Amino acid sequence: MFKLAHLSDPHLGPLPDPKLLQLFSKRILGYLNWRQHRSKNMGGNHLERLVADMKDQTPDHVAITGDLVNIALPLEIIGARAWLESVGEADFVTAIPGNHDAYVPGALKKAREAWQPYMSGDDKSGLPGEPAFPFVRRRGDVTLIGVSTARATGPWFATGRVGAKQTRQLRETLENLRDEGLFRVVLIHHPPFPGATNWHKRLSDASRLRATLKRCGAELVLHGHTHIDSFEEIPGPIGPVPIIGVPSATSAPGGRKPAARYNMFEIEKSSNGWSVQMTERGFSGTGDQINEIRTRDLSGFYSNSSS
């Protein structure tokens, strides 16, 4: 059995004091948003406690689906590397970027350089001079496929895009891994299902990605971005593909969005295909304790078939 933990959108704080010149951009909006809203909802030690609880569940691997930082200041990016190291070694943790990690032009390149050991494939894709995304990490029968939707956007926009080239490479990757009979987990920041977000926060080429999944399939698609727990399905070549999101890993209980949470997937090959159990753990309601929130048996998605 392989245990995969998924958390997202830590938006690591506190925000470093920016230089005035660094605020002459879209960053001024994110800075004000942090001061007025996010610092209140994302303060405290909820992330630290959530990660400690996650480690107590002894996962075999951890997936983090973006938005490690807030406005992509250089000191934020450096701090996020230290946080990744506190979660685990690079072969134990896989990360992909979100829109906040690419908040202004040039930020994503700096983030990729700083987080490269956590954001590259087993074949060294993602290293300087090599294709960055999608990258593939194989862990036994389970493969993690890192996709980037992170793009610098204008003020008041948080859209993402996969792009034609990455989509073509993703299609080839999914087909090859399917032919090997592996369990394929696609990691992406922006959710690809219809109506997932407001227009100004959408995945702009979601229909192209859905077409790829309809043709090639995947066993799981894990995302962040929305800061809510969500469970959706989109068509695959044989049956539906589950699309699963998780709340921000730093959200305090009692806020407008669900409190900090992570998902744990127990994946095992069975005579009927795959056995997959999902457990949601985190803070709930206004309470300050970490609990098991719900469990789901996903095995029906894979019985006697492979998507």
Interatomic CA distance for residues 288 and 40, integer angstroms: 16
Q: Which of 153, 165, 157 is nearest to 105 (CA)?
A: 153
Q: What is the pLDDT of residue 20?
A: 82
pLDDT of residue 204: 98
pLDDT at position 285, please?
75
pTM of the model: 0.95
3-state secondary structure of 283: strand
Cα-based angle 85, 278, 173 (whole degrees, multiple of 5) = 70
Q: What does the DSSP 8-state code read for residue 19?
A: P
121-145 pLDDT, tens digit per residue, is 998 765 565 558 999 999 999 999 9
Q: Which residues of the chain have pLDDT under 50?
A: 306-307
Would you state the pLDDT for residue 306?
43
For residue 285, the one-letter residue type is G
- State the pLDDT at residue 211: 98
Give the pLDDT score at 9: 98
Residues 236-287 pLDDT 10s: 999 999 999 999 999 999 889 999 999 999 999 988 789 999 999 999 877 7
Q: What separation in angstroms does the CA of 71 have from each of 141, 163, 175, 259, 291?
A: 37, 23, 36, 22, 31
Question: Which CATH fold topology does 2-301 show?
Answer: Purple Acid Phosphatase; chain A, domain 2 (3.60.21)
Q: Which residues contact 222 (CB under 8 A, 6 or more apart)?
A: 6, 63, 65, 185, 186, 187, 188, 244, 245, 246, 263
| Closest C-alpha among 165, 246, 159 to residue 203 | 159
- 275 phi, psi to nearest 5 deg: -105, 125
pLDDT at 307: 42
The pLDDT, as a whole number, for residue 289 is 92
Ordered by start, the domain boundaries in the chain are 2-301
In 3D space, the residue among 116, 79, 78 whose CA is nearest the CA of residue 97 turns out to be 116
Which strand (E) or helix (H) includes residue 263? strand 261-270
Could you tell me the two tokens for 291?
Answer: 């609990």
